[in-house]
Amino acid sequence: MKEELYTIPVNEALEQDGECLFCTLNKKLESDILNYILGPSYMEEDIRGETDKLGFCKKHYAQMYGEQNRLGVALMVDTHLKHVREELKKLLDAEQAKKPAKKGLFKKADEGGSELTAYLTELEDSCYACNRMNVRMKSYIDTFFHLWKREPEFKEKIRNSKGFCLEHFNMVLSEGKKRLDDAKYAELLSVTAPLELKQLDTIQEDVDWFIQKFDYRFKDEPWKNSKDALPRAIQRLSALTVEE
């Protein structure tokens, strides 16, 4: 299968000089997806079918509920509820129609789990937005290595970037190990390792100064770069982008 490349979005995200290239890409995609779901244009039939089936995870429900467009959320939730109700009815009927095993006096009701609980468990984690983001992340990582292997300017841009949050650093290294030979992997490490350590030092310094600022003796001192130290530290540690 031919890999789908996103060279323009990846280069644009890199130019934003954020804390992590992949977090920048993710955040943009996430807001595009949610804006589309809640937006004024009529949702395409196949996407509507997907959101009806999958619903959203806790994080994305919270994000959508936090937006102004409660009607958009209600419309999406309305048809998802209908779908869940239908599925649940079928599975509950099947569960209730099960005959208890005759000799199973001491046997627990359902040792191996059931389709009913499997469905409910699956629903807890299923999310249309997360699904879309996971699929696209594969293309972003393909694009990253496509550019890394072919374009020296791209490598240079990475060298001058802030590197990656720990989650995406892990992803870059794991994928790098699979996609590059030993020498090329060593080169990837030699470019990214100093970035990661330097950025952790910088954030540490900024968080330390942020803490100092709570001391009344420093209250009139400038904030330096520490005003957003905490959101940057949280993102670096967890890939979670929080607003300042």
Using CB under 5 A, list all residues that contact Zn ion. 20, 22-23, 57, 60, 127, 129-130, 165, 168, 239
Closer residue to Zn ion (CB): 53 or 114? 53
**Beta carbon of residue 235, minimum distance to Zn ion (angstroms, whole number):** 7
Q: Which is nearer to Zn ion, 166 or 189 (CB)?
A: 166
Residue 160 tokens read as 């001058």
Task: Tell me which amino acid residue 107 is.
Answer: K
CB of 92 to Zn ion, least distance (A): 26
Residue 128 Cβ, how far from Zn ion at the closest point, in Å? 8
For residue 196, the minimal CB distance to Zn ion (Å) is 12
* Shorter beta-carbon distance to Zn ion: residue 226 or 235: 235
Smallest gap, in angstroms, from Cβ of residue 57 to Zn ion?
A: 3
For Zn ion, give the closer residue by CB, 158 or 239: 239
User: Residue 116 or residue 239: which is nearer to Zn ion going by CB?
Assistant: 239
